[in-house]
Amino acid sequence: MNLVFCQSPINKVQGFKLGGVDYITKPIEQEEVLVRIQTHLNLRNMGRTLAVQNQELRQALDFEALVRRITDKVRDSLDETYCLRVATEELATVLHLSGCQIELYDPQQQTATIVHEYSGTLPGCQGETRQIDDFPELYQQLLQKTPLQLVEPVPLFNPQGIQVTRLACPIFDDRGIIGNLWGLRPPGELFTDLEISLMQQVASQCAIAMRQARLYASSNQQVAELAKLNQLKDDFLKTVSHELKAPISSIQLAAQTLESLLKAKQNPRHSPLFQRVLKIFHESCQRQKKLTDDLLTLCYIDAQAKVVQPESIELNSLLTNLANPYIAAQNQQPKILLKLARQQPKIYADPVILERIVQELFNDALERTPVEGTITLQTKILKSQVLIRLINTGRELTQIEQEQVFSQLYRSQDSSPKDHATGLGLTLVKKLVEVLKASITVTSDRQETILTITFPLESD
């Protein structure tokens, strides 16, 4: 509205109040000049306000574009490290931050560790761990999922002693809080409400990305474990099939030999060949029976755990009775020694299961120990525990063998195909020991292998 041709002072004043513009002409009227000045001031303020609103609008659009970029990149990746790097870099660039950090809590929420950082001008802090109890006034608010802006320096919070303005936005989802997203900028530069809202959105995207990445990693791990279990099952079935086939083949061959002897001789029982074949029959049947018994025990061991009948056992007496038959049969086998504790230890366990454990240990040791070696059965009291140790000399287990010795159908490297061991002995021992709520370990060094079973000592 132009007031050049308006001559009435009253009309001019009213026009200028409504926003009209014109040059100041003579004669000068004071009221007219004041109104003109006020109008131009109002126009300038309106221009400034409009500029601020336009800037905020542009900033909001930029922030919206940032969230969209981060969302797109995060959605296309299942790599947690990559997602965190994208979030910190994009946020630091758009907000012109001196640094951007992501810290994660430990499962007990006692520590917070900076796992990723984008630093422009500040020293790096990645890998630093803070104790939550050292900063209760800070983390109490953050653990309640409330953003926190720090203007004043916090002692010990920044080891470098550099003063900055900090904004922390919690990273959380419906399962709980995961960590915090930190933005750092020079002192005196505060974060606006719009910037705080942006960081909260980015923190929310980080939570989604981290859950997705961890779920994907967990799924991959489960798939790998299932594949491993499936391979173990296949290997187990192949080995069991072979173990079952071996004695059957021996029996079949022995039967054919017996048939030939019966056709060739009227009374073949006195023939040395007949006796050897008969021995093969007995050994093959015993091997077949033991393998079947071991497999059945493994299948029903969980049910057996429910019917355990523990009682007080004088350990030295029971072990002596179990070892005597092996000692008496020392023909072409290692020397067997007993070293029992003088204190006569007592344990509370099922004697039937304990006897099976000791027998399996002896059978396994006899298969793995050379004839010139020794097998020592030892008991020892150690504070509130009783140790049963079976020590065999002559061969040392490698670290890999020690890790696999309790695996199903494990056979030592020097096992002979003629051995009667099924390869299930130590697997059974471990499971039966667990049924008795005890533990078993293996160590091997200096041509000596020690299997140690630990029971709690029965109090008098």
Query: Quick one: pLDDT at residue 379?
Result: 93
- Tell me the per-residue pLDDT of 52-80, one tens digit each, with 9 for 90 and over: 766 766 766 676 777 777 777 777 778 88
Q: Give the model confidence (pLDDT) of 75-124 as tens digits.
A: 777 888 888 888 888 888 888 888 899 999 999 999 999 998 888 777 77
Lowest mean pLDDT among 50-59, 331-340, 379-388, 414-423: 414-423
Calculate the average pLDDT of the chain: 79
Whether 2 has a pLDDT exceeding 50, the answer reads: no
User: Of 149-153, 215-219, 409-413, where does mean pLDDT reach its minimum?
Assistant: 409-413
In this predicted structure, which of 70-79, 128-137, 196-205, 430-439 has the lowest mean pLDDT?
70-79
Average pLDDT over residues 272-294: 74
Question: What was the pLDDT predicted at 9?
Answer: 59
Radius of gyration of the chain (CA): 42
Parallel, antiparallel, or unpaired: how do β-strands 335-339 and 346-349 relate?
A: unpaired
The DSSP bridge partners found for residue 416 are: none
- Res. 453: pLDDT tops 90: yes
Structure token digits, residue 228: 């491993």
pLDDT at 109 (0 to 100): 92
- The average pLDDT across 408-423 equals 51
Report the Cα–Cα distance between both ends of the chain, in Å, rounded: 110
Nearest to 310 by CA among 353, 345, 346, 348: 348
List the one residue out of 407, 405, 378 whose CA is nearest residue 391.
Answer: 378
Find the range with the poorest average confidence among 74-78, 172-176, 359-363. 74-78
